[in-house]
Structure 1
Amino acid sequence: MLIENRNYLRLHHRMLLEQINNNIEEGKEVIIEPSKNGSPTMKICLNNNNHNYIHSRYNPENEAIKMIDQLEGLDEYNHIIFVGTGLGYHIKEFSKRYPNISISIFEPNLEVLHNFLAFQSLSDFTKGQIKSFITSQNNDAIRLELQKITNKKDEKIFVYTLPSLSKQYSNEEKIILNTLKELLKGKKSNLATNVSFQKRWTINSIKNFPVVIKTPNILQDIDKTVFKDKPAIIVAAGPSLNEEIENLRYIKENGLAYIFSVGSAINALIENGIYPDAACTYDPQGHNYKVIQILKDRGIKNIPLIFGSSVGFETLDGYPGNMLHMIMNQDSISQIFFKDYKEMDIVLDAPSIAVVMFQVLCKLECNPIILAGQNLSFQHNKRYANGIKYDFISTELSEEQQKKLITIKDVNGNSVYTDDGYNSMRRELEMYIGFFHKIDVINTTKGGANIQGASFKTLQEVISTKLTQKNTIDKEWYKGNSKYNLDYINIKNQQLKETAGLFEKQMKMVASDLLEINSYLQKKQLKNMERKFNKFDKSFNEFWNNEFYNSFIAPIFRVHTKRLEEEIQTIKFEGNLEKKGLSVVELFSNFLNECQAIYQFVLPFFEELNKSINDHCLENSIKM
């Protein structure tokens, strides 16, 4: 390997360097020999003692030129993934012609990659052009690396497989293309979710915080030993739930397992006289309260509510029973108020409450975890089990919705219809099942989507083989007291009040600096403007690092903030001062206007929170 490449890998890809050093046996599979024009070419030994030439035996440079000549429309792309390197003639030729298109390299054969790095100097490529090396053939590892690429703004990706390796890497090429398609589709979905929910997540977290500090955290404030190795059922609202009502009634009456109702399933259970051990909710939307309205309307006090800290705040108003919470990763408020936040068990946001509660039950060490009513597909075009009706969503699919359905396999290997939303839930559930692989997961959903990692058994079969011990649950499992450090919360509350006042002054300072930059720009006083950039950088950094801004303002427009960070990097490398000035004024003026509007919007919520914390801390100090 070339010394400069070794140094580069040591700085930027140390694990790859160690991988190559530990796995290379020279001359085992790859042979380098001179071509007719004297340039080295490569051949790989195949299993049948034949050889596959990766490059031309006559003129590999000329072959590479012809390869790149055949590529059309590359100006539409900003990233290319090369599948297979060989000695990299084609990659080098591409780099010469398209220095502004970033490159990722997929080469699982470490001996081939070693030879590539022994022949091509990475310093000959445009600085920073090669972004990543992917060497694993494991689906999950490939997905993770591709996710890093697609996470960047507006990434348009072209995949090119070296023709001589197309047969050998056909499976990997298919995985890469399918994964990219799925990730880019998911990126649009995540972006839409962030845009839709970013304001609700923050306002909910602010409004819910007084309830959070008064209620037990299910992952730290209750006796978790009551769940260890105990069976738990996640009951979802799919149409197949209709067939399991009597089985669930039997389980409840005999205390055979903990029953956790997720989302809308609570309505079907209550209508059938079955009170689960908890109702669970996390949806940040304003209409989420309707899901558990039946419990409020009937004044049912003996069903504990487990809520995500960023749940729609209307959900918690007037809840008649005990409440417990779980801290969600979308909650930016708890992060700043809890001293030991980094050591806490945080629950990751997910496409469905079933996936959220699966995480929680795994952390509580329930075993087995049984899924019921988890159709993740449509049964006779129905969305929900009987007894579930809402005014904000139809229980049956419209003809237009039916046209957009896709086909997947059900638990019996038959075809069943689903949509992108349910499919996303299924994939994420499968991911967590794989992560918590030591826990036995059983899917009892008749006719539901097949969930990889979860064995299918009917609930009747599970009762007779797995749920054989009566009264196995602790009916008072939910009892516990909040143990958050109120002294620390009170101190942070006072500090945030001060930083909120400081933020307003910092915002005015940044606005003033922008006006001066714009003034110099209009007068063409570019040297004065350049000197002003330094002052602007300082005032903007103080604004940007303000604790109040990062906890209460930035999360509300996180999508715009991410775009701003990306645009700042582009502006930094702009050599034309006038263009740079115009970009700075336009970009930051728009950003500042949005900040000002959000500040005015969020301030009343912050002041309400500030008072609630003061009152709670005062009340507790009097009690003590």
Structure 2
Amino acid sequence: MKYKISKQTSDTEQSVYIYEDHEKKVPLNSLYSPEKEALRFINKLNNVEKKFVIFIGFGNGTLLDMLVEDGIFDRNVHFLFIEPFSEIKLSDKHFSLISKIEKLSYHNLNNFNSIVFAKFISKFTSIPVDIKIHPNYSKVNQSLIKDCLKIIHEGIETKQILNNTELKFAVDWIVEPLINIEHIPKSVNLKKLQGKFKGERAVLIASGPSLKTHIDFIKKGQDSFHLFAVGSALRALMENEIHPDYVLSVDASDRNYETHFEGIQYKGTLIYETMSNSNIQKHHQGTLVVSQALSDYVTSQIFNDLYSFPQMSPSVAIYTLQVIAYLGFSEVYLVGQDLALVNGEYYAKGIKHHDGMKGLKAELLVENNEGEKVGTTKALKIFLESFESIIKILPKELKIYNLSKQGAKIEGTTYISLNEVSPYSKRMISFNKDTLQLSSSTHSIINNFLDKFDKLRMEVGQASKSLNRMIQSGVVSPDDMIKVVKKFRNITKHEILEEVILSKLTFMFDTIINKFAYFEEKQKYTNDDLLQLVKELSTFYKLISTYIDDILNDERLSKYK
């Protein structure tokens, strides 16, 4: 629905935004007194406390001004404003206020997606959420309000998918970086390649359905472009006598190695993150180039000079795009980066894939590069939004072209057809291949890490015994609870727990942290309240103990004990 946003002055000399379409004209704040309107609205929220409050609609900011002066502000955990209209901009005053106060956040709908909201859910896990519509916004274009609510809903689903991923790979994300300590000294630091390819053109080869139709283009372009292939595309490329210049890997699972790398005689350069499955690095026959995964705190304890990208890479294609930008390329052409089920397919024909990727069905629709709707999965939608978020922070001079006509439209890229790609001759680029140095033996370093895990397990076990005594007695006094909280805070400062383990189980950690972060040391909790907190903490300790057991008993680490 077409609409326009204009401005008008209220009776109290405030600027007010006016929404107007062919049916109605609605002031987004009161033209009589925005202050009184905001105060009436806030008074209706008197019973809202200890919540994560979401306001859909910002208006001229009077609601925010009145909110920070009211008692409700102190009684709640956080306030998020989502503004549906791109035409409404924050004033310098309100931008400064929101920037200074940690309890406040603001997003315009244009920059608000499920990934963004999932991060809020992570931060405020276990905190009740209350959604409110700004006064008068319920009278305007409801499709925009529904878009906000839809993104919130998708954000909840996204967070659940991320939680499931954490549970699935929690052990791998510690075990594989530990084993990779053996392979890093045989690798080149990615830092040595920074900016080396300035002015050059790259092709990012993913394994989506459109890869099949671009095989001839890639084969003929081997002398025109530097070819960067994600691991899942490598087997299909090699079978078509295409030898990419660089192959990239981030996935920690054995299935990644077995499905996409095992048995392939690739001798080019492998660029990998430190969580990549160690078998891939172990069996690679060419040059190894390494960067540190952002959430890998294992490797950071040993190597303090590895480059780490400032944004997480939830997919290898996102990692590849960041690498290409870091190396200084001026243009990148996306092949097979469909991020949709083109003709119902996830992978291109001929791509080897495991059982988990078979029989996938469309869960939602996105726009493709033909302006039509195409089915995709929730996981692919997460990758799409992550890809778009990464593009926003890349150098503006990097031009990104998408060659997938029927794949999802990726904001920040330009779709072009093959006949629009101009001929070019790539330069052969060399770089220093001196590998990283390590003073101690890898075996002793890994063994030392395992000893730290074991000591933490003992400390958590002792704390757990104390809790079990309280649970068995059924009595927890306020003084007992103060000691429990103090012990908990001491344990969470343990280097291995805070930086290594809990970085892999963030949603478990955030849940219990939020419970205790808002625990007030006052005698206003009943015995049942305190007993419930103790039981939740006991469950948390058991999770940590089980997790450490799984790591220490993992057969991949048996030779280091």
Give the TM-score, by structure 1 length: 0.72
Deviations 1:57-84 (A, max 9, x none): 8xx9xxxxxxxxxxxxxxxxxxxxxxx9
Out of 286, 293, 300, the position equivalent to 1:328 is 293
What residue number does 1:453 align with? Answer: 412
What residue number does 2:163 align with? Answer: 191
Q: Distance in 1 between matches of 2:169 and 2:304?
A: 26
Q: Distance in 2 between matches of 1:231 and 1:566?
A: 47
Deviations 1:189-217 (A, max 9, x none): 22222222222212222222221233112
Contact 1:134 1:142 in 2 (8 A): no
Structure 2 unaligned blocks of 5 or more: 1-6, 89-107
Out of 592, 599, 618, the position equivalent to 2:548 is 599
1:279 aligns with 2:259: no
Contact 1:30 1:111 in 2 (8 A): no
Q: Distance in 2 between matches of 1:507 and 1:260?
A: 45
Counterpart of 1:173, as a letter, is I
What SS does the aligned partner of 1:306 have?
A: strand
Counterpart of 2:434, as a letter, is N
What residue number does 2:206 align with? Answer: 236
- Displacement of 1:126 in angstroms is 6.7
1:290 aligns with 2:290: no
Deviations 1:366-398 (A, max 9, x none): 110111122222333333333323353566xx4
Counterpart of 1:182, as a letter, is E
Question: Which of the two has greater helix per residue?
Answer: 1
Out of 21, 37, 48, the position equivalent to 1:87 is 37
In our comparison, the structure showing a higher alpha carbon Rg is 1
Q: Distance in 1 between matches of 2:373 and 2:111?
A: 29
1:261 aligns with 2:242: no
1:443 aligns with 2:402: yes
Out of 356, 378, 386, the position equivalent to 2:319 is 356
Aligned length: 524
| 1:3-14 equivalence runs, <5 A | none
Q: 1:572 to 1:206 in 2, by over 3 A?
A: farther
Contact 1:257 1:473 in 2 (8 A): no
What residue number does 1:481 align with? Answer: 434
Q: Distance in 2 between matches of 1:43 and 1:457?
A: 44
Q: 1:210 to 1:457 in 2, by over 3 A?
A: same
What SS does the aligned partner of 2:334 have?
A: strand
What SS does the aligned partner of 1:96 have?
A: coil
Out of 386, 390, 397, the position equivalent to 1:428 is 386
Contact 1:242 1:385 in 2 (8 A): yes
Counterpart of 2:463, as a letter, is V
What residue number does 1:38 align with? Answer: none
Structure 1 unaligned blocks of 5 or more: 1-26, 34-41, 61-83, 613-624
- Displacement of 1:571 in angstroms is 4.8
Counterpart of 1:510, as a letter, is A
What residue number does 1:406 align with? Answer: 364
1:204 aligns with 2:176: yes
Q: Distance in 1 between matches of 2:546 and 2:537?
A: 14
Out of 483, 489, 494, the position equivalent to 1:546 is 494
Contact 1:329 1:346 in 2 (8 A): yes
What residue number does 1:582 align with? Answer: 531
Q: Distance in 2 between matches of 1:387 and 1:56?
A: 64
Report sequence identity in percent.
17
Counterpart of 1:482, as a letter, is T
What residue number does 2:103 align with? Answer: none
Q: Distance in 1 between matches of 2:357 and 2:449?
A: 44
Deviations 1:390-419 (A, max 9, x none): 353566xx4xx44x4433332222343322
User: Runs of 4 or more off by more than 6 Å in structure 1?
Assistant: 487-495
What residue number does 1:387 align with? Answer: 350
| 1:31-50 equivalence runs, <5 A | 31-32=11-12, 44=16
- Displacement of 1:459 in angstroms is 3.1
Q: Distance in 2 between matches of 1:537 and 1:170?
A: 46
- Displacement of 1:31 in angstroms is 1.8
What SS does the aligned partner of 2:502 have?
A: helix
Contact 2:309 2:322 in 1 (8 A): no
What SS does the aligned partner of 1:299 have?
A: coil
What residue number does 2:507 align with? Answer: 559
Q: 1:273 to 1:176 in 2, by over 3 A?
A: same
Contact 1:497 1:610 in 2 (8 A): no
Contact 1:234 1:260 in 2 (8 A): yes
Counterpart of 2:378, as a letter, is D
1:513 aligns with 2:466: yes
